[in-house]
Amino acid sequence: MSDALAGLAGAGDIGNVAGSTPSPGESAAGEMRSRFWARLRRNKVAMAGAAYLVLVVLVSLFAPLLTPHDETFATRFQDILFSPGDSGYLLGTDHVGRDILTRIFFGARYALIAGAEAVLVALAIGVPLGLTIGYFRGWVDRIVMRFVEIVVAVPAVVMAMAIITGLGTGLTNAMLAIGLVFSMIITRLTRAEVFAAREEFYVDGAKASGASERRVMWRHILPNIAPPLIVQTTLLFAQAVLAEAALSFLGIGADASQASWGRMLRDAEISIDRTIWPAIPPGIAIFLTVVAFNVFGDGLRDAFAREARGGRVGVGDVIPKERGAAAAPPRPPGGGDPLLSLRGLDIVFPKPGERTDMTVVQNVNLDIGRGEVMALVGESGSGKTITGLSLMGLVPDPGQASAESIVLDGRELVGMEFNELRWIRGREIGIIFQEPSAALNPAYTVGRQVAEPLRVHLGMTKREARERVIELFTEVGIPEPDKRIDAFPHQFSGGMAQRVMIAMALSCEPKLLIADEPTTALDVTVQGQMLDLVGELARSRGLSVLLITHDLGVVADLADRVAVMYAGEIVETGRLAEVFAAPRHPYTEGLIAAIPRNEPRSGDLPTIPGVVPPPWEWPDRCHFADRCQYEAVECRRGPVELRAMGASLTRCERSHELELQGVEHAAAVGVAGWEQSSGGDEPG
């Protein structure tokens, strides 16, 4: 389980801000285990089920010590059918005078043993078989799956009865039969999970390192598909307890000498015309045990999948907060109202290994004008991607976004109901993700995926949507669109897959396009094509664009205005030409100096010393001070607010006295000039 938990960490900018990076002194696996158990403990229903199951285990282990009677004590005809409490029998007696409470205690043993036998048989057969046919596929997979479908189509108890006919009656044979039936369920689940996992890059990496097929399956794939198997195991345990009771009630499971709960129900049938009581305790025991396994399995599923929120609102919701006195960024040129106005955005995530929250984006303000390209720039881990996702209410769980206001074309998005926000997504705001191979569903053709928003938002028929998709593919430069429309994502190169993502984002003609590092995974030539395409489409359609990137060269090609982000804060914002010519923050100066140029250079490439610190290490003062060459005493006195400097805003205590160098100076002095001005620090 620990390997499976360790494999659940996120990746990319979202993973960084979500706390998937282990804190100092704590491994990633340990952190994920800690968060898993914290999520599970907060699920009260699941913990109640777990507590009951622990009680059942303890009762089964210490049954001889909990009652003065033994499991098969002699029949006492003088004590037949005593009511609860009579003659010291807390739950009464059955039709031959046996203590019902004693049999309930010992029956817990048979329930657990029966469930364990069935589940172990199912796992021993189903996991290796599912791994093998899912990994190698081919004709063996087709034959095995036809057999699996036949077995699964028949109710488990009925199929088990057929198997018992050949094996003979008895509790062990009955649970072996149940285990054989359950193994088909495990086989099907394992195969489905392997189908998805075998296409992941870590599998290719293991193969490239020389790992054998067996090692790839058991050491790389199996730990990553363990969570659904663990959840399914708990659910099958519940079904096994129920199946054992059913088979014992029918007389082909536990025999008369075994105090199985199912056997107790069978014995209670003999005296049903005199009293129904002997059937009630075993019935309740079976019911509670099955429910406990089910709710515990549901809790495991939720703990593996998502962080429990407690009192928080739904996933992705942006909740309102009180308005503050933070300075507003300058309005776009022309004096008109912006298309998008964001005020006071905060995003928090749980701190790794703790129950407290950490702020990963704080007090972000942005304005994007109509038809304007706003670039949000900064190093990886600064919070750019998570800021863009928050505009669509897509902050990943367990994060929580709050804002004073997010106004899109006059409509307030903060506090908007889910169904209302769903119509905003895709229709008024489109998004291009940085990894098209991960964003496109491998199970569907690209044409079907691009057509989906057209049918959902615009109500097009299937034929109309197909024709429109072909037009979009032509517009974004996909050759032979009438043929490529029926291809799957894996049949596209990285550049072509990104063109599909652009077509999908533009399909409903949104007003705002969020481009999240759209050229990250592409080579230089294709990057240029993508940038030209985005710019041309933005101009021809009058789109507003939020361009998220860490490449200032990209910004120079497309943007009208720029917002520089560092460690969860906007440190500078203004018109592109003004920020590039005369930056007001040392971080912006460092980014400009590091822009690659087509000119002769000597020495090392310019860099900013150090790296962006993780959110749990952000100080309650200037976040950039530890990396800044201009750091002074006033920089460490406390938080630094945005302040106006001409038409720009900056978050620097010394902005009024510093003369920072922009693009022209950096191009003139090259690396040597930056090294001299920075004191010759080693590159970070």
pLDDT classification of 392: cutoffs 50, 70, 90: confident
Q: Is 265 within 8 Å of 274 (Cβ atoms)? A: no
Whether pLDDT at 119 is above 90? yes
- Stretch among 35-44, 158-167, 315-324, 632-641 having the lowest mean pLDDT: 315-324
Q: What is the pLDDT of residue 663?
A: 77
pLDDT classification of 131: cutoffs 50, 70, 90: very high
User: Rounded CA gap, 248 and 282, in Å?
Assistant: 12
The alpha-helical segments, DSSP class H, found in 512-585 are 524-541, 552-558, 576-581
**Which amino acid belongs to residue 636?**
R
Q: What is the pLDDT of residue 321?
A: 65
In a domain, 464, yes or no: no
DSSP 641: -
Q: Which of 405, 323, 330 is nearest to 367 (CA)?
A: 330
Q: Where residue 146 sits, what CATH number does that domain have?
A: 1.10.3720.10
Among residues 261, 281, 305, the one where a domain terminates is: 305
Whether pLDDT at 160 is above 90? no
Tokens of residue 427, six digits: 């229709």
Q: Which residues contact 10 (CB under 8 A, 6 or more apart)?
A: 18, 20, 396
Opening angle at CA 311, ends 307 and 313, nearest 5: 75
User: Rounded CA gap, 620 and 127, in Å?
Assistant: 51
In a domain, 395, yes or no: no
Q: What is the pLDDT of residue 661?
A: 83
CB atoms closer than 10 angstroms to residue 668: 10
Q: What is the pLDDT of residue 175?
A: 87
pLDDT classification of 355: cutoffs 50, 70, 90: low
Q: What is the pLDDT of residue 318?
A: 66
Residue matched to tokens 């057969």: 125
pLDDT digits (tens, 9 = 90+) for 642-657: 888 877 889 988 888 8
Q: What is the pLDDT of residue 564?
A: 93
DSSP 351: P
Average pLDDT on 451-478 reads 89
Number of independent structural domains in the chain? 2
Whether pLDDT at 444 is above 70? yes
Q: Which residues pair with 93 in a beta bridge?
A: 99
pLDDT classification of 399: cutoffs 50, 70, 90: confident
Q: At what angle do helices 261-270 and 100-136 cross, to 10 degrees?
A: 130
pLDDT digits (tens, 9 = 90+) for 600-642: 666 677 788 888 888 888 888 898 988 888 888 888 888 888 8
Higher per-residue confidence, 84 vs 601: 84
User: Rounded CA gap, 3 and 32, in Å?
Assistant: 10
Among residues 279, 305, 331, the one where a domain terminates is: 305
pLDDT digits (tens, 9 = 90+) for 4-63: 433 333 333 433 333 333 433 344 455 556 667 777 787 888 899 999 999 999 998 988
pLDDT digits (tens, 9 = 90+) for 366-377: 999 888 999 999
pLDDT classification of 522: cutoffs 50, 70, 90: low
Average pLDDT on 128-140 reads 90
**Which amino acid belongs to residue 3?**
D
Q: Is 197 within 8 Å of 162 (Cβ atoms)? A: no
Higher per-residue confidence, 313 vs 443: 443
Q: Which residues contact 367 (CB under 8 A, 6 or more apart)?
A: 328, 329, 330, 331, 332, 338, 340, 341, 342, 374
- Stretch among 60-74, 391-405, 490-504 having the lowest mean pLDDT: 60-74
Whether pLDDT at 674 is above 70? no
Helix (H) and strand (E) counts for the chain? 26, 14
Higher per-residue confidence, 141 vs 354: 141
Whether pLDDT at 407 is above 50? yes
pLDDT digits (tens, 9 = 90+) for 376-388: 999 888 889 899 9
Average pLDDT on 414-427 reads 79
Q: Which of 346, 343, 362, 348 is nearest to 405 (CA)?
A: 343
Q: Which of 223, 288, 282 is nearest to 248 (CA)?
A: 282
In a domain, 101, yes or no: yes
Opening angle at CA 508, ends 507 and 512, nearest 5: 100
Q: What is the pLDDT of residue 167?
A: 80
pLDDT classification of 673: cutoffs 50, 70, 90: very low
Average pLDDT on 130-141 reads 89
Average pLDDT on 163-178 reads 84
Whether pLDDT at 668 is above 90? no
Q: Is 684 within 8 Å of 379 (Cβ atoms)? A: no
In a domain, 239, yes or no: yes
Tokens of residue 89, six digits: 């029998």
Whether pLDDT at 121 is above 90? yes
Percent of the chain with pLDDT over 70: 83
List the domain range (segments joined by +) for residue 591.
Answer: 576-677
Mean pLDDT taken over the chain: 80
Average pLDDT on 96-124 reads 89
Q: What is the pLDDT of residue 285?
A: 92
Q: What is the pLDDT of residue 571?
A: 92
Among residues 305, 335, 370, the one where a domain terminates is: 305
Average pLDDT on 543-568 reads 86
In a domain, 563, yes or no: no
In a domain, 29, yes or no: no
Q: Is 570 within 8 Å of 366 (Cβ atoms)? A: yes
In a domain, 564, yes or no: no
Tokens of residue 411, six digits: 């409509």
Whether pLDDT at 502 is above 80? yes
DSSP string, 384-427: HHHHHHHTTT-PPTT-EEEESEEEETTEE-TT--HHHHHHHBTT
Q: Which residues pair with 575 in a beta bridge?
A: 561
Q: End-to-end alpha-carbon separation of the chain, Å?
A: 37
Q: What is the pLDDT of residue 25?
A: 36
Secondary structure element (H or E) that encloses residue 223, with its range: helix 222-249
Q: Which residues contact 523 (CB under 8 A, 6 or more apart)?
A: 495
Average pLDDT on 590-599 reads 78
pLDDT digits (tens, 9 = 90+) for 210-223: 778 888 888 888 88
Phi and psi at 512, nearest 5°, equal -125, 130
- Stretch among 160-169, 524-533, 581-590 having the lowest mean pLDDT: 524-533
Q: What is the pLDDT of residue 337?
A: 74
User: Rounded CA gap, 591 and 575, in Å?
Assistant: 16
Average pLDDT on 98-105 reads 87
In a domain, 352, yes or no: no
Cross-sheet strand order for the sheet of 561-566: 429-432, 512-516, 544-549, 373-377, 561-566, 569-575, 648-650, 643-645
pLDDT digits (tens, 9 = 90+) for 242-300: 888 888 888 888 887 788 898 889 888 888 888 899 899 999 999 999 999 999 988 88
